Structure 1
Amino acid sequence: MIFIDTAKFTRAKELLITTCLNWIPLIAGGVFIRNLAYRLIFKKIGRSVYIQDGAELIGANKIEVGSDSYIASGASIIIRAINSKVLIGSRVKIDKGVIIGSSGDNCCIEIDEHTLIGSYTCIGGPGNVKIGKYCLIAAHCGIIANNHIFSDPIEMIRQQGLTCRGIVIEDNCWLGYGVKILDGVTIGEGSVIGAGAVVTKDIPPYSVAVGIPAKVVRSRQRVESLLANQKNC
């Protein structure tokens, strides 16, 4: 009887298909042909998905990508953990150098539709990460849903475990260049986080927050109310 290592077989299939697809240009019928082939390795993929040559995909059978989304060369989506998944909505743009890693079991990283993930941003578990619709995430941001426990000064930090509370970024948020979001944080809808901020606590909806640690400096509520009133007039 011949036993097949399922994980190795799946990885070999990913490499074979992605390598062969490098010869097919991302123009005209090439996108259609690529999408047909990607259906063999992705859990689910929509129409007209643009994946540039050089994008790294590990665990594609646990990745769902919506229609008209774009994954640039040099971006990496890596899932090695059990029962984990990455869900990418329609019209999402993932720029070069982005790393999305589901590093723990039962981890879900979700990026909803019409959201931009800027170059060299890192998004990872093992806690769950949910990024809403119409968000703008600038380059070099860090959204990592875990934190090392270090309460025991004698035991090695790496052996003390992790906390994994998860991160939520609600719809229509803008994170400036180099923002860092710590585990357990929720950023409310319509909020703006200034460049270089480190967010350690929840941010209320329609807030502007800056600094290390990030503090709310003003609210956007009045602006949103004025815009809503103008639309109703």
Structure 2
Amino acid sequence: MKKIHIALYYLLLQYLPVGKSYNRFSKIWWIIRGITCKKIFKYCGKNVHIQRKAYFGSGKEVEIGDNSGLGINCEIPSNIKIGKNVLMGPNCVVLNGNHEFKDNDIPIIEQGMRPSRRTIIEDNVWIGYGVIITPGRILKKGTIVAAGAVVTKDFPEFSIIGGNPAKIIRMRK
């Protein structure tokens, strides 16, 4: 049954209009996407917003808390954990793997992949437009990630971070 919901999402539902106010049917499509994702994800809280063309692979290990969402065109791995009240802007990418490259005598393409690393996004996090998050990061409670940031390491709770690579801009507390 899960495969049917995944097929339904990727073949049809991901292309339906966005948001609550795009047109009078947009809220219906948004609700239908949410119901379908509840059937796909390991855990899907209440009032979850899955926007147009969000990609989550098989979704089998995705956990997403209440009042959280994936922005338009976001790409997340199928093993991510997202807390409550998380805002994710459009075009964000969360990576969970990387190529192996330690042997200079073997072409990178022949060295395979490093083991997958799970990303955790804790509660009350705001991720801006076009953010890239490298494998295995933990975005701690209350963090704000500025648009276009490349997150390559972990930061303390209530950090405001931005840049490439991301660094602390200031603390919220």
- Give the TM interval when normalised to the shorter protein: 0.7 to 0.9
Query: In the alignment, which of 99, 102, 114 is matched to residue 162 of structure 1?
Result: 114
Distance 2:44 2:167 in 1: 30
Distance 1:159 1:113 in 2: 42
Q: Which has the higher strand share?
A: 1
Question: Could you tell me whether the CA contact under 8 Å between 1:175 and 1:193 is conserved in 2?
Answer: yes
SS in 2 for 1:208: strand
Question: Could you tell me whether the CA contact under 8 Å between 1:76 and 1:99 is conserved in 2?
Answer: no
User: Does 2:159 match 1:207?
Assistant: yes
Distance 1:102 1:159 in 2: 26
Residues 51-102 of structure 1: per-residue CA shift (max 9 Å, x gap): 8x8126xxxxxxxxxxx95528xx999x8xxxxx643222101000100114
Alignment-mate amino acid for residue 146 of structure 1 = G
Work out which of the two has the higher radius of gyration on C-alpha atoms and give 1 or 2. Answer: 1
Unaligned runs of 5+ in 2: 15-29
Matches within 5 A, 1:91-110: 91-102=47-58, 108-110=61-63
Unaligned runs of 5+ in 1: 1-8, 19-50, 57-67, 80-84, 222-233
Alignment-mate amino acid for residue 175 of structure 1 = I
Question: Could you tell me whether the CA contact under 8 Å between 2:37 and 2:44 is conserved in 1?
Answer: no
Q: TM-score, normalised by structure 2?
A: 0.76
Distance 2:2 2:72 in 1: 28
Question: Could you tell me whether the CA contact under 8 Å between 1:70 and 1:93 is conserved in 2?
Answer: no
Judged with a 3 Å threshold, the aligned counterparts in structure 2 of structure 1 residues 10 and 69 are, in CA distance, closer, same or farther, namely: closer
- By relative contact order (CA 8 Å, sep 6+), the higher-ranking structure is 2
Q: Which residue of 2 aligns with 1:185?
A: 137
Distance 2:87 2:33 in 1: 15
Q: Which stretch has the larger CA shift, 111-120 or 132-141?
A: 111-120
Distance 1:10 1:139 in 2: 26
Q: Which residue of 1 aligns with 2:12?
A: 54
